[in-house]
Chain A
Amino acid sequence: MISYAVEQVSTYAKDIDFLILLICGLVGFWFFVAEGVLFFLIFKYRAKEGGKAAYMDGTDPKHTRFISWPHRFILICDVVIVVFAVKVWMGVKQTMPAPDQTVRVVAQQWSWSFQHPGPDNKLDTADDIKTLDELHVVVGQTVQFELVSPDVIHSFSVPVFRLKQDVIPGRAIKGWFKTTQTGSYDIQCAEICGIGHGAMVARIVIEQPERYAEWVAANVATATVPPAPAAPAPAPAAPAPK
């Protein structure tokens, strides 16, 4: 339904899509039953010449059972939905798998900047790579992100991951994703953040480890200009043959 237009690129995308499909089935059933009964009754009980309506006040169990029984089934459907929704939610938002890589995402009016850990795979060290509007990650790795904002509320939304998390100034909110395929996709700001909100977009570039290493090597040299002597070191790591 969603994956027809928006690919599933994170490990939990299919869980969320399944949950949506499940809810769709359950509420869709009740929706069509209710609409069906509504239109059937309108059609069946149109006013007829000389006809007289039934007199009932809705307390006779013979009548109320038509309401109370569906009600019990709806309650069961609610329980099923709650169980699955909470399960999905806990997997996405309440667990934090050990990360292979940690990135910092800075959402500001009106752009995204990303702080990659660099060759040492640690944040807040000298070799961090900072980029604007482009986030690079390795396919298949668990990435932990930390969301910060210096100004107003933004929202880190990556539709292909089915992921969304507001960015609150004054807080560092952590989350995770694990990608399943390579490609380049939208990162959108999903919370109105002022006049440039309609253009606040970045791209996430999901790459094979080799390509990522190449990118790191190419960027760490330019990114860390002051400690220039250290720059040539990572060069051999890059696999030359494509």
Chain B
Amino acid sequence: MTTTTASHHADAHAAGHAHDDHEQSFFVKYLWSTDHKVIGFQYMITGLLMAMIGGYMAYGFRMQLAWPGEWIPGVGFLSSQQYNAYVTTHGTVMIFWFAMPVLIAAFGNWLIPLMIGCDDMAFPRINRLSYQVFLISAVVLIGSFFVDGGAFGGAWTAYPPLSAKATMNLSPLGSTMWVLAVALEFVAFLLGGINFITTAMNARAPGMKMMDIPIVVWMIVVASILFMVSVGPLVAGAAMLVLDQQLGTAFYDPSGGGDPILWQHLFWFFGHPEVYVVLLPAMGVCAEIITCNARKKFFGYKTLLYTVFATGIISFFVWAHHQFVAGIDPRMANVFTITTLIISIPIAEMIFLYIATLAGGQIRLNVPMLWALSFVAEFLLGGVTGIFLGASGSDIYFHDTYFVIAHFHYTFVPIAVIACFAGFTHWIPKMTGKMMNETLGKLHFWTTIVGFNLVFLPLFITGMWGDHRRIYNYDHFPDLSTQALQDLRIASTVGLLIMIAAQGFFVWNLIWTWKKGPAAGNNPWQGTTLEWSTTSPPGHGNFHPMPTVYRGPYEYSVPGAEADFLPQSQPPA
């Protein structure tokens, strides 16, 4: 019932807009817009620019690790305080200002209204506000580099008392600006999340039942719910942290009766579901691309949704596996080892479903498909290495080593980088109306993948051989200053340089697409979901007329059908 009324309303709205397609100034059209597509672009572009900042930080500290104490081109000499600030900002930026804006906000904004067939978000102005708050948060974070004492350098997990006391972290303003920036970013994503959930639940095209919603929309909705439920404790924790920093309270200070471990619980209660907040949209993006390019229905659509819900729920019961050796009651580790290994069951199920979707397909290996398949291949390694860390006994050794770094980069790089490029190359023809260059895209793909693996495979070994995290110069450690370890560190840095250079192909491709990209047409990939039934790029109001849905989202290669795809909006013969 709700869906029908909402869409009738949307129809009327779209018709109303068709009349007043008046000229708008650049400012109103691109910077002050309430159009979900423009806001999606704003998030995407800001996210990619922030990724460049995060990448620059990675370049700085990896060069320092490979050639400690040397002058670094474009950075200069890196002091140990700066090193800590770079490491901290790299982690914070890549998760909160790159993975989240691109995967949830950019894809959520681009795809949700187009895929469910409505004209815009449920609350367009809240949507605009969401981006504006996000932009301010990014400015605050970058600004922290230029205040007295420099940026915060207590790692992205910001464990107090180090993060709470300026006498210990030596960045009195930077640490507070870091907390403030993160809190603002949370506000932005709460505003965005409300929109995504409301829009997907209430504004669907007539005929689109819950089980006709494309997977990526489901994934973004579940991720938004996870984020909303988990973020509360951390916001409370952040408020206490700011009070500790600036007003001298002692929430986390044992000398005043506080407890530093409290923060760790609040942080990881958010921090673990946060992994799934970015993982689920990434998997959703890949599901769309894999079904479309294998020309097959998704194998077990409902099973996938149930595993997603299960993962979401279990993800709230695993947080203390980050704290096995943190001084919590050791008996708790046994409980959290069990819950952590239980979560491997739905995750393994998801990966199996993706692989099974390929069986019997007609696989087109175009650029988005290469990215999506590499997501599955690379994420597998990130997934299985997590078992070493989730099992309490082996985590005693691996905790806070480079093995952890290698593990979570094998999850986060597929999530943030690979799925981002997969989605970008798949939907940019829809969003701009222009096709990207296939050759440049493949060059970009292969060089990035080679670079990425060269960065992080050696780190599994250095971690196993005892390198622990956030050390700016291993020469101080007699057991860690061996040549074999240093060679691995240099290999990893060389991988990073390749990975950064590879992005040149991407920039080149963007310029090529801008200048002479061929017209994409409405449906360049022969997709079935609703966004492919409108024009590229979709005009104001998205659909004219508003679509009606007749079938599920992945009706590819239906026996007896003329074409090998049946769009959701095509009426039955």
Interface of A toward B, CB cutoff 8 Å: 1-2, 5-6, 15-16, 19-20, 23-24, 27-28, 30-31, 34-35, 37-39, 41-42, 45-48, 51-59, 63-64, 66-67, 70-71, 74-75, 78, 81-82, 84-90, 92-94, 109, 151-153, 155, 157, 159-160, 162-171, 173, 185-186, 188, 190-199, 201, 203
Contact = CB atoms under 8 A, between A and B. Distances in A.
Contacts of B385: 27
A170 B255 contact: yes
B178 to A, nearest CB: 14
Contact of A45 (B294, B384, B476): B294
Nearest to A95: B330
Contacts of B556: 53, 55
8 contacts: A45-B361, A57-B301, A85-B337, A88-B393, A93-B392, A171-B327, A194-B84, A201-B476
Interface of B: 80-81, 83-84, 153-155, 159, 161-162, 165, 168-170, 254-255, 259-261, 294-303, 324-327, 330-331, 333-334, 337-338, 341-342, 344-345, 348-349, 351-353, 355-365, 373, 376-377, 380-381, 384-385, 387-388, 391-394, 396-397, 399-401, 464-466, 468-473, 476-480, 484, 556-559, 564
Given A53-B294, A71-B345, A153-B159, 5 more contacts: A2-B465, A23-B388, A31-B384, A82-B337, A152-B165
A134 to B, nearest CB: 12
A198 B83 contact: yes
A195 B153 CA distance: 8
* Candidate in A67, A74, A163 with the most chain B CB atoms within 10 angstroms: A67
Contact of B387 (A41, A81, A197): A81
A141 B157 CA distance: 37
A47 B302 CA distance: 27
Given A30-B384, A170-B255, A195-B80, A63 B325 contact: no
B360 A56 contact: yes
Contact of B337 (A2, A6, A89, A199): A89
Contacts of A168: 254, 260-261, 326-327
Nearest to B300: A58
A41 B473 contact: no
A71 B296 contact: no
Nearest to B258: A170
Contact of A38 (B80, B341, B358, B557): B358
A70 B254 CA distance: 49
Contacts of B470: 192, 197-198
B341 A82 contact: yes
A198 B469 CA distance: 9
B330 A94 contact: yes
A241 to B, nearest CB: 31
Contacts of A157: 400, 468
Given A168-B260, A171-B327, A16 B394 contact: yes
A89 B361 CA distance: 46
B300 A152 contact: no
Contact of A47 (B330, B344, B355, B362): B362
B471 A170 contact: no
B464 A45 contact: no
A39 B153 CA distance: 42
A17 to B, nearest CB: 8
Contact of A164 (B165, B300, B325, B480): B325
Nearest to B468: A190
Closest 5 CB pairs of A and B: A170-B254, A88-B393, A54-B360, A58-B300, A85-B391
Contacts of B380: 31, 34-35, 38
A157 to B, nearest CB: 6
A56 B334 contact: no
Nearest to A5: B465
A168 B326 CA distance: 8
Contact of B471 (A81, A165, A197): A197
B352 A67 contact: yes
A31 B169 CA distance: 41
Nearest to A75: B345
B218 to A, nearest CB: 16
Contacts of B465: 2, 5-6
Contacts of B473: 198-199
A46 B373 CA distance: 13
Contacts of B300: 57-59, 64, 67
A155 B159 CA distance: 12
Contact of B396 (A1, A31, A93): A93
Contact of B479 (A16, A64, A90, A159): A159
Contact of A42 (B353, B358, B559): B358
